[in-house]
Amino acid sequence: MEDIIISPYILAPIFFAIAFTYSSVGLGGGSSYTALMAIFGVSTVAIPLISLTLNLLVTSVGSLNFIRSGHARLKLLLPFLVSSIPMSYLGGSLRLPKELFYWILLGTLFFVALRIYVWKDTTIKLNISAAGKTIISIIAGSILGLIAGIVGIGGGIYLVPLIIVLGLGTEKEAAACGAIFIFLNSLSGLTARLQFNSIDLSQIILPIIAVLAGSLAGSFLGAIKYKPSTMQRVLGAVIIVAIIFLGRKVFMA
């Protein structure tokens, strides 16, 4: 794998803050890991490998906890997974030009911001059959999986509000689906990329420790102390800053 040009001592505290914030609302943080590494000039080959690895670490525990607590609904999640996993693998197999990678990432962050500020209180009642809902889930899963594999995110930051907006499940069911969705699609995308590239975990051991510590602290405090709305606003601010800096990098290149 190409060397990471930014010091892990710089990445570690930043990644801790990202993991803390995202885990407090049940997400992995791949979108912000990816954006910040792009801003810092990390290779577009290395970025998805690192982001997907960190996503796996953050969501593995969350997925197990949701399954054990009984919030995971296989019937709700399965249509998304059927299409997303192979598409995530396909996305992970692609080697896009750096400029196109940045544009896709910027668009991804823009929709993340919409997810936080626009979709949060919106619900659409679908007056369609179960088969129609399944078709919608399969189509949405394929799109989210492809983006997840290409950019190096898990896709859960879109899936969770999508389930709520479309009235497919409760907030806890959506969060459970999101955690499992992120884990499995990150695994699929990472598997594809490791066939053509390698990752030297010794280069990111400090960021890995920071992410694990941040996710443990964030998920704990988010569950017992902080209001989800408060952490959502913090998360939104992180995304807006990332959009500004990445936008400058794209438009002023």
pLDDT in tens, 114-131: 767 776 555 566 677 778
What is the pTM assigned to this prediction?
Answer: 0.76
Residue written as token pair 């998304």: 80
Judge whether 210 and 10 are in contact, CB under 8 Å: no
pLDDT band at 142 (very low <50, low <70, confident <90, very high): very high
Q: DSSP states of the chain as a string?
A: -PPP-S-HHHHHHHHHHHHHHHHTTT---HHHHHHHHHHTT--TTHHHHHHHHHHHHHHHHHHHHHHHHT---HHHHHHHHHHHHHHHHHHHH----HHHHHHHHHHHHHHHHHHHHTSTT------S-HHHHHHHHHHHHHHHHHHHHHHT--SHHHHHHHHHHTTSS-HHHHHHHHHHHHHHHHHHHHHHHHTT----GGGGHHHHHHHHHHHHHHHHHHHHTS-HHHHHHHHHHHHHHHHHHHHHHHHT-
Per-residue pLDDT tens over the stretch 29-76: 777 888 888 888 788 778 888 888 888 887 777 677 677 777 778 888
Least confident of 108-122, 136-150, 175-189: 108-122
Q: What is the mean pLDDT of residues 81-87?
A: 91
Task: Show the CA angle centred on residue 17, arms to residues 11 and 20, nearest 5°.
Answer: 130
- Report how far apart, in Å, the C-alpha atoms of 132 and of each of 72, 81, 87, 174, 184 are: 21, 16, 21, 19, 24
Q: Where are the domains of the chain?
A: 26-251
Pick the closest to residue 58 from 250, 248, 186, 206 (CA basis): 186
Q: What tokens appear for 18 in the block?
A: 């990202």
**To the nearest whole number, what is the mean pLDDT of the chain?**
78
Predicted confidence at residue 119, as pLDDT, reads 63
Question: What is the SS3 string spanning 76-100?
Answer: HHHHHHHHHHHHHHHHHHCCCCHHH
CA-to-CA distance for 144 and 224, rounded, in angstroms? 31
In the predicted structure, residue 1 carries a pLDDT above the cut 50: no
CA-to-CA distance for 73 and 173, rounded, in angstroms? 7
- Report how far apart, in Å, the C-alpha atoms of 189 and of each of 49, 105, 144, 177, 181 are: 9, 16, 12, 18, 12
CA-to-CA distance for 163 and 88, rounded, in angstroms? 19
- Report how far apart, in Å, the C-alpha atoms of 250 and of each of 62, 98, 108, 167, 213 are: 34, 10, 14, 36, 32
